[in-house]
Structures are given as structure tokens and as C-alpha cells.
Chain A
């Protein structure tokens, strides 16, 4: 897919909460070994939202960082989309809370998107469409989650908190473009690998089914389709970011597509913060923009259970340098951390009911 007029990233920003819990600390509670999580899945610890944080607060801080880098007034945003599977309200948009808090209301389109871990890139696709058709000048696409993992479930070791905001604009009107969108594809089938029914606190998953027919089939297909459409090959890219439910999956997907480990490493954040779900691939992309140079080509491929994958190709531009230092980088947030034990974790994640 390609919009009729060129679309660029004009600002990017992320947010990761202060708190971390290690896989050893979670394993200690359930009498399990942490070895599988640390050595096979490459997760050391995960980010945990504090008592006063949720997807709205994460989205607001990420958006403010993106606005600072885009160097635009929030009133110039024509759309605010929030992609998440951990909305603060079951009914009431997160988008309106975020749009109001950053000062983008009232002349703005806003909606919440949901497609498991693909919701963030879905927001990006929609923003690209609106900007590329000339309906709006700027669109704000956010992927953020405070992901839930049931106690003792394998997901409890990886489900992290955080998110990223991307502002897209028309190439003609953006003074310091960060990255040009070269093209994108979306690949969707009905594959029930992971779900959460109404009124359930925690998601369910089809165990091994989440791998081959779900994650790998979709993310590999979308990436192949994109490379085909743009007549590009893996070696044309400096960086590749794949959705990161753990460290093993993106490295394996990259390898089977012909990408090298070095192309994936810069955007691989799951060892430090866990799986950010809807925030995962976009935060990996944000970390790449924090270090990329003009001329670098970046592949971003999300995966959302249910199932689908969006893949994008971006060509980094000069704005990446002038805008980088305006806001905290992903690594700034990763380094700012405070480890907590499982008792405090249960309090923060509302596992204690009273």
C-alpha cells in the first residue's frame, strides 16, 4: 500500500514506566526455573506500570515526547488514535482522554483501535491513510499497553508496560522529516491463537499454536509481500524491527527471511522491558530512530494475535538528527529503573482485591 501523496514520520516518542520485575523474582514465587525465560526467550526483566499509571498516562507522555520532536502545536493534529488491549475503560475512549490532555481537542478525529499486539501499527496505517489522502495535516498514532498475564502463566514473565507515539505528516509540509514511508502492507486471517473474553481479567492462549500458524506465518508473509511490492531485499535494510513477544521469535523470523541478527538487535527491547504488546514493534522502531542515521532503511513488522501483521518500510531522513535530543530516548527510560519484588508487583497490577 502507498498513499497518493508522500507521508513522513515527523515526530516520535516513547514512555516506559520506572518499575521492573525480574524473571527470577516471578519464578521464585511459583517454584519454576527462570532459565527458560532468560536463556531461551531472552527476557531478563519486564517493565511494570506504577499505581497511578495506565494506558492513558503512558500514551500521554509518549505523545508529548512525539509532539516536542515534531515541533508542532497539538492543535495541528487531525487525528489521535490509541491502539491497546488494556484500555482503562471497557466503554469510553482512551483517545479522548489523551487528545484532551495533550491539548488536541476539540477539532480532531479520535478512536481506540484493538487488534491485540498489532493495534499500534493499525493506528499508524489509519493515520497514513488520512494524511496521505490530504484529509488531515498530521495524525498521531499510539501503541501502548499495560499487558496482563495470569499469575503463574508463562505470559506473566513477559507481559510488560509502555508505549510509543508516532506523528505522521505530509512530506510537502513537514520541515524536518524524520523518515519517509516507502510503503506498507497488512496481512490478516482468522487465527485464534490468543484471546480474552468479556469480563475475564486475563487472556487465554493456544500454547504452541501461537508460534508457527500465528506469529511466524503472519509476520513472515507480510514482510515478504512488502519486500516484493517494493522490490527490496533484506540486505537493503540497516534495521529490522519485528514484534517481540520474547527474544527468540523475532530473531528466528528475521533469520528465516534472510535478515541478520545485527539488523534486529538495535530494536530488540524485550530483554529489558518485556513484551509491550501494542507498544512492542512501535517502541522497537522508536529505539531505532533514536540511533539511526539519514539514509538508513528500516523495516517494521508488527504481529497481532487473532491474527495479523502490518509491515512498513521507512527511509530515514535528516530530521532524525535535529529532533533526537529534544525528548528522552527509549534507552533513557530503560536505564531509569527501580526493581520491585513480587509483593509490590501484585499491588501495582491490582492482583490484590479488597
Chain B
């Protein structure tokens, strides 16, 4: 990912900042110029909840080159407490212990490093809720 793109996406990726359509109430994440449901352009700032449940997942064993050192890892679709569904990595759990329906919470983590001299990219992942 380019530095400008990473920088632009920091609020959404690291603080789960999203938008809510003031016409139909649809939650838009990541940010867009128009509501992807009704096409509305009046979008309010909205922060996603940090807790949810795992809807489905896949274990990634053959990742793109930037993620090889992280393999194996779990890519999941998490349904947040407000019903919003997001695609995210599941962390802090052996890949074979991941199960559909488990309670998860958001954690700020490292996503990848752009080689040894590029930037380090951070974003929210989800881990099993432990408390």
C-alpha cells in the first residue's frame, strides 16, 4: 500500500471511524462519497462498536508477499454489535481454535511492514474477548 493511501485511511483503519447515511441510516465502512445503499450524499461521522461476533472465516496459508511472515493467519467477517459487518484479521488465537460465533473485541495491531525500510502499517484486528 502506498504511503498516501495508508495515511488517508488511518482514521478508518485504526479508530474504526465510519459514516452513517442520514437518509437511510446505512453504515458506510470504509468511507465513501455516497451511501452504497441509497446513493445519498449526506453522511454523518459515525464510530463503529469495538465488539462483535465471528460470522465466518478463512485460514490464510498462502498470503501475498507482504504477509508471508504473518502466515498462517485468519481473515474473518465480524458482525459488530450494531449489525455492521466488516472484514478483518482475527489475532491472538491458534488458527485451528477459531470458531464461528465466538465473541471478539477490536485491538490495534500491526498489519504489515513495507520491507525493512518502508513504513509499518497498523489497523484494527479482532481477538477473542477475554474479560
Residues on A facing B (Cβ under 8 Å): 18, 50-54, 56-57, 60-61, 88-89, 97, 100-101, 103, 328, 332, 336, 338, 347
Q: Is the CB of A101 within 8 A of B69?
A: no
Verify A52–B110 contact, CB threshold 8 A. Answer: yes
Chain B residues engaging chain A, CB cutoff 8 angstroms? 10, 14-15, 69-70, 89, 91-92, 94, 107-111, 120, 122, 125, 130-131
- Distance to closest chain A CB from B78 (angstroms): 16
Most B CB within 10 A of own CB, among A52, A53, A89, A101: A52
* Cβ–Cβ contact B130 & A336, under 8 A: yes
* A352 to chain B: closest residue by CB: B69
Query: Which of B10, B109, B131 meets A52, CB within 8 Å?
Result: B109
Of the residues A18, A52, A56, contact of B111 by C-beta under 8 Å: A52
B3 shortest CB reach to chain A, Å: 12
Are A52 and B15 within 8 A (Cβ)?
no
Q: Using A57-B108, A57-B109, A336-B130 as known contacts, say yes or no to A52 and B120 having CB atoms under 8 A apart.
A: no
Number of A-B contacts (CB under 8 A): 46
Is the beta-carbon distance between A100 and B14 smaller than 8 angstroms? yes
Q: What's the nearest-Cβ distance from chain A to residue B51, in Å?
A: 13
8 of the cross-chain contacts (CB-CB < 8 Å) are: A51-B110, A52-B110, A52-B111, A54-B120, A61-B107, A100-B10, A101-B108, A328-B130
The answer to whether A61 and B120 have CB atoms under 8 Å apart is: no
Query: B120 contacts which chain A residues (CB < 8 A)?
Result: 54, 56, 88-89
Q: Pick from B89, B92, B108, B130: contact of A332, CB below 8 A.
A: B130
Bound Cα distance A347, B71 (Å): 11
Asked whether A332 and B131 contact (CB < 8 A) given A88-B120, A101-B15, A101-B122, the answer is: yes
Q: A57-B122, A328-B131, A332-B131 are in contact. Are A51 and B70 (CB under 8 A)?
A: yes
Cβ of B47 to closest chain A Cβ, rounded Å: 9
